[in-house]
Structure 1
Amino acid sequence: MLFVICQKEQDLKIQSIKVTDGWGYQITNNDKIIIKQTIIPVIRNSKSFKTEKEALAVGQLVVKKLNANNSPTITKNDLILLKIKM
């Protein structure tokens, strides 16, 4: 009996990006941008993250979800748990 497991090569990296009124983040896979987030997701207003630390915390959660083969969607509860100022 032979089992073959194929897994996509992923090299996910997160990087903060400075925007006009705060911070955002981008996630790359093998140096190709796959997610660029310049505003806080799931809130009504279009606001950037207040700090680089906040942007990177949310980006790290997205990477964690992607690595677990889950949807990278961020919920309001995720933001509350990460203590993101909305």
Structure 2
Amino acid sequence: MTKRILALLLLFVTSIILLIYFLFTLSGENKNADIYSVRTFKSGDGWGYQINKKEKVIILQPYMPCIKWNQPFPDEKSAQEIGELVLSKIRNNEDPSITREELNEKLQRLL
């Protein structure tokens, strides 16, 4: 009977430890989702975007990527859209680079 009580006590303690672990893990994921942000800004005669982690700028993009001669985005909405795409790649642990095809696709949808 003592072994049975000891086994139940061990099972109870293990369950509590796992519950605490999962609660902290889930709350940490929610905090990480909110630490990134996209902000647009005027850039020359157009728009650019920046990606922030908390309040620190981690990407500053005053021009459209993949385009020669440093052309800014034509409007704030297109800068915001591409910034959101980059941010989704960061959150998914992907390469945040934008291809010419991705840029063209987003810009065509906005026109």
Above 0.5 in TM-score?
yes
Q: By how many angstroms is 1:80 displaced?
A: 1.5
The 5-angstrom pairing of residues 28-39 of structure 1 reads: 28-39=52-63
SS at match of 2:89: helix
- Structure 1, 9-18 or 44-53: larger mean CA deviation: 9-18
Distance 2:76 2:92 in 1: 24
Superposed CA RMSD in Å reads 2.4
Which structure has more helix as a fraction of its residues? Answer: 2
Say which of 80, 100, 104 aligns to 1:56. 80
Say which of 18, 31, 38 aligns to 1:14. 38
The size of the alignment, in residue pairs, is 85
SS at match of 1:56: helix
Return the structure number with greater relative CO, CA threshold 8 A, min gap 6.
1
Normalised TM-score (structure 1): 0.84
Normalised TM-score (structure 2): 0.66
State, as a whole percentage, how many aligned pairs show the same letter. 34
Q: By how many angstroms is 1:45 displaced?
A: 2.3
Distance 2:98 2:83 in 1: 10
Which structure has more strand as a fraction of its residues? Answer: 1
Divergent runs of 4+, >2 A: 2-7
- Maintained 8 Å contact 2:43/2:63: no
Q: Which runs of 5+ in 1 are unaligned?
A: none
SS at match of 2:85: helix
Distance 2:77 2:97 in 1: 19
Rg larger in structure: 2
Q: By how many angstroms is 1:47 displaced?
A: 0.3
